[in-house]
Structure 1
Amino acid sequence: MLRVEPGRGFRLCDILTGSETEVIEKTGSQIAQIGDIRFARIVAVADLAVLDGCSPFAIPPQNKLAIIALRKRMQVAGGPVTDRSLDEWTEELLELYWDLVEPILNPRPPELRNTDDDPLLFHKLVFDVSSVNEAFDALCDLSVVQDRPSLLAEAKVGLNGVLSSVEIPWEKRGNKLHKHWDNTVLGRLLIEDTRLTAEVNSKRRAKTIRALIERRLGDRVRYRTTSTESPQSMLARTRKADERKKPGRTHEELVAIPEVREHLMQELRAHYEQWVDAPIPLLDGRTPREAVKTADGREAVAALVLQLERDGARMTPPLDPVIVRDVRTALGLQSD
């Protein structure tokens, strides 16, 4: 949908053929949004065009990329797409339609991933160690933010002056997803007496930290076990625990604090400034700045930015419209 006049109608563009039509639709136009995608048939009589059959589901802008991909296949097979040639692709069009509405009919929670693009699965690895001191000496440099003295300053010491408990953040410099981050927290290590526990949020990080611990400590460490917990399970458990605690500030109360709100917007602004030059899987690994150099790529990126704008408007607090405007400006999409 290119333009919507609530209570009257809208201007539609056929994604496959490129044709544009003014459609009279009193009821549907009251809930339609610019960028909505509809599976529909348009019937025109003289200067009047109406919808003769229309899917009840509004397909979100980001799914336009799948339609563009099918259009490319159609063009390769038979040249420019026309109303007549669409009849030859009925089966493929219906299959794509059901693929796109399936998440609407049966929504599933999004797959959560960490900043290394690993699926989130919380791991707790348990080891036996000879002593806190030995384990600490071998692993303390895993923290790139805190040095040895600052880690020890937060440690617990027994009555005999011997180190009894110490925590080590496992970190690395920078972040491949968020270029403006100075460092990334990969996990957390806790050493208590003769027990070492490592907590990470993915299978790959669990494999890495186990190999690292065993290599550094050698025969002074013994692997015991690993337990895992899904993000959904952890969230449910955390909510139950929060219900038993004294109520704290809600998310809405926190973001109402000017300093918190400003920091959040700074993070989002920095993220989207680098997003235009980040490889995007939906763009076949191209960056948005690279993709807009072709007509199909420009159309695809414009759809992604429109989706960003919609999703941002539903955030709490809403995404600053200036951020979306700056993304469009950086990509030359101001008029799209």
Structure 2
Amino acid sequence: MPASHDLKGLMKFLDRDEWRGCFEEVLDEHFGPALDACEIEFEDLADVLGEVWAMTLWGCAFEDFLTQDFEGQPSNIVDDYVKRRGWKESAQSKAYMMALRTSTMSLYEISNVVPGQSLTARDLIRGGEPISVSEGTATKTLKQWDKIAARIVPVMGKNILAGGVLPFTPQATETLFEGLRGTFGKRNAKKLPALEDEELQAVASMFTLAWLFDTLGRMMTRPSLQNNDGDEIVFHDVRFPLASGAKEGDVVTRLNTIPALSQSDAKFWNWLEGAQQGKGKPKTTETTARFTTMDNGLLVLGNVEMKGRFLHLSANSAARAAEGTALIQQALGDLVRTPLTEIRTVDQMMAERPRNGVETSSSGIPPEVAEQSIHEFLDRHYLETLDQPVRLLGNKTPREAAKTPAGRRKVVDWLKYLENQSAKQPDPIHPITTYSFEWIWKELGVHGLRQ
């Protein structure tokens, strides 16, 4: 938030007796149901979500509080603060406070993002024409067709985003819409009724709760990756230093005496599951198994490789690393010294992946050739998809759905979802990021609805 929009003085005003209890009520509206359901306290949110998101959520509740009128005089904290302390604030800060005083939280679809400068926002709840927003920080991370819950306020001739901005997934969006339909619509209504600003202001906590239930739910039910033994995947690199005087040829000879090792080249072995070892631990429905097999169907438990004066054992779980270590130490004996182990989680491995996409040293494929090949593959894939049922389209094919007005709206949402997911690739020059979906819009006759 720019310094000219500083609300520190207003925040300190919360400590006054007449406002402390009122703000606690608003905090409970925004967080209480979600915290109770997950059996955590507000203070735990920073540990669960991170400090930034905890403060963003607090900001959403605070901005809602600024709009509310309570019993007694004064009835609104902004009016009270400006009257008592407004002389301390700049004209722009006071204008920002007064804009927040009458602001409304809504759900917006983002387009035409100019990083560091501006974006276009379309109100998905109240409708109307898209509006241009001046924004420096959020535009550096927002992508085409992102959905955000936010307050857009006019300040001195410009529309700006307030501080409480929450990115909404399709699941969070549906949760919010279900809540709004249940509150303002008819029973079992499928469309949102027309809502006035006052009505949305009264249910601002729904946005925070929809985001919280979705985010906490995904975090707490996140499936753990398991290998075929049912063990959590944690990558282990066990390095055995060769003993002084140990010859590489002797190490290779002893490794080849281990029945479970299959030599692939002069310095590389696959560690294979024995014929009697194929029955692993049962996997639960909340886990995803990851395993590799050889052409003969045997499961690969790990790899062994000679690298200079070190013998490396790679395995994807602690149990396999321990078993492989014992196997090697038993066979090699005094040819190797005490091993050192490096451990990395799946998240750490993902973070270490090169950001330059196809420009890997091992591929040898020029980036432009790789991009063309991937784009051609995506062309074929999506051309086939146009004649296949799509769950987001009610299990109709895109061509079928595009024949009706209701279906075309779903097709537009589907295409925006595809573009949005493509734009969220971390590498801006990755072939998936640079792929254009424009031909699909035209093929389905909905290009005029792309706004």
Structure number with greater CO (CA < 8 Å, separation at least 6) is 1
Structure showing greater Rg: 2
Please, what TM-score do these two structures have when normalized by structure 2?
0.39
